[in-house]
């Protein structure tokens, strides 16, 4: 099993969140995700379970209609087919370990791409 090193792999982008794959199989995908203040993964509902473990910073993990305020040490689990999104607070970076099982398809990520193009966290 690979060691997950947040320090060595830390990478931020001024335009959008950065996701670095640490592990991927047919059954699961593990990512290190880095957000500048205010950046987000738009709300979408892929057919995969999601675990978000916050390592640094603060923000919101959306689970259907519930917004969970998160900080370091918090973890949120969202079942498959449930609308979800992640957003960093406007004044702090956010770092999280994200696990999806099974990995979402490219088609399931189309709402993410559309939301990022439009600058909308919750496209509904």
pLDDT (tens digit per residue) in 61-100: 999 999 999 999 999 999 999 999 999 999 999 999 999 9
Say if domain 18-118 classifies as CATH 3.40.50.2000.
Answer: no
**1 pLDDT higher than 60:** no
Q: Mean pLDDT score of the chain, rounded to an integer?
A: 94
Identify the sign of the CA torsion 9, 46, 15, 60.
negative
Q: Are 121 and 115 in contact (CB under 8 A)?
A: yes
> pTM score > 0.85 for this model?
yes
């Amino acid at each position: 099993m690979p060691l997950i090193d947040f320090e060595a792999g830390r990478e931020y982008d001024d335009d959008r969140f950065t996701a670095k794959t640490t592990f991927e199989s047919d059954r699961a995908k593990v990512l290190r995700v880095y957000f500048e203040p205010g950046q987000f993964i738009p709300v979408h509902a892929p057919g995969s379970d999601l675990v978000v473990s916050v390592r640094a910073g603060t923000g919101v993990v959306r689970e259907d209609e519930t917004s969970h305020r998160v900080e370091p040490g918090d973890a949120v689990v969202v079942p498959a087919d449930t609308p979800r999104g992640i957003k960093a607070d406007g004044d702090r970076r956010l770092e999280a370990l994200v696990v999806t099982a099974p990995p979402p398809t490219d088609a399931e990520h189309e709402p993410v791409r559309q939301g990022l193009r439009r600058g909308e966290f919750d496209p509904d």
